[in-house]
Structure 1
Amino acid sequence: MSLVEAGELPISRIDDAVERILRVKFAAGIFEHPLSDRSLLDLVGCKPHREIAREAVRKSLVLLKNGKDLEKPLLPLNKNARKILVAGTHSDDLGYQSGAWTVSWIREGGRTTIGTTILDAIKQTVGPETESVDTLSAHDFAFAIVAVGEPPYAEYISSKTGLVIPSDIADMICSVADRVPTLLILITGRPLELKPHMLEKIDALVAAWLPGTEGNGITDVVFGDYDFVGRLPVSWFKRLDQLPMDPGANMYDPLFPFGFGLTHSPK
């Protein structure tokens, strides 16, 4: 409104945008049938829907690192490990997994809807003798799964001058990785800047994007029931000042290039 009132944006541009929106709504029959079919409400979130969502999760995951030594990959993880560490702000939070525009426009994390968190899925996947611990004060971990990322964001809130993992969380990741072989799972709708020292310390890295309610789609892959098939749909920058990135440019120097993605057994 302020741009129109200041004369910087012509009203004809607004009319054009509104006309295109209305044209789609007319073509979709929304004005003739403005309400959804409420008789189908009980089907929303049914088992077949959740199975498709789980499949979408496991097929969209991108494996960015698997082992400090290519000959000694961390993934797939051992389901029957005696003790594992599960940590991170996003390891047991449906709201964080789902992101904004889920149930409401934007809100903090928590059990905002029905679903399976990463921690829930791990407990359902590992063997009956495996102990899942959430504090580093214990000892003798076989490996650690750390899930971190951004809180739910939408328009306005998503505009930032830096896309980084907060320093306290980065310190926690490094502290864990110094003591335990660590898989880092990133829950975010976009690439984040990954500091070289942290990337060196962790053993494996998975971009899980915003997987939504079906955390089992993550454990399906990291524990080896399925292999990774996802590839980066964008270039993963080293520094924010590299954006925008053009894969065809002479100075193209990403952390991970467009289309990158590993599998359990790279050839």
Structure 2
Amino acid sequence: MPEPLRDVIARHGLQASKALGQNFILDRQLLARIAAVPGPLEGTKVYEVGPGPGGLTRALLDTGAEVVAVERDRRCLPALAELDADFPGKLRIISGDALKVDERAEAGDGAHIVANLPYNVGTALLLSWLEGPWPPWWSSLTLMFQREVAERIVAKPGSEHYGRLSVAAQWRSSPRIAMQVHRSAFVPPPKVASAVVHIVPAAEPAGVRAEVLEQITAAAFGQRRKMMRSSLKSVAGALDALAALGIDIERRAETVSVEEFVALARALS
């Protein structure tokens, strides 16, 4: 039986750092459920960001995966080194900032990304994975977010959570909320509930430049209370393209579907 995580944390003096957005999960059964979300991992590569004391890392190693873990907090490295000793040749630890790591070079094509993301960099990392070249280097994303962020990722048009992040996550990938996680599962408990999101890449719509779609959604949702005729007037050709596509320029961005944004981006690409 592995040592209880509470004891590992106490033995290494690991208090979660608010500055680093850390919240540790101690329940090994819950961690095993998260590790199971991507499906069978035996013999596959997994890229983990922010392993902390290594609870999720061990759950991933228990599946038979090979794990590359990036940890910025050097206080956690001794606890992770113990895992390396328990799973020889299966764990590689990178000490550094995940926002600066050459992930593809470190993890290799086809890796699954699984992480209880630090809250302060979670959205930035997600967008970096969603906005790169397509098809992406990763096979799937299994990520812990604040529930509000998770709801934005999977939101449908017309809902209060639907926005730029929804379009970014849905135009060429399929996201779902795999499980809800109560705040009491964490140490220290965050002020909000969390959720695990699972994302798999889909085919990229033909004739669409990602940077054009990003420009359109940034403008449209940057002034989401305004009609499209106002919010998109700064995007060259957008109003004519809307008219040609039969999209009413008096609609607001939150009513425009992902498919309609894609059609607009295609027209402007």
For normalisation by structure 2, the TM-score amounts to 0.31
The higher relative CO (CA closer than 8 Å, separation ≥ 6) is in 1
Greater Rg over alpha carbons, structure: 1
- Higher fraction of strand: 2
- Structure with more helix by fraction: 2
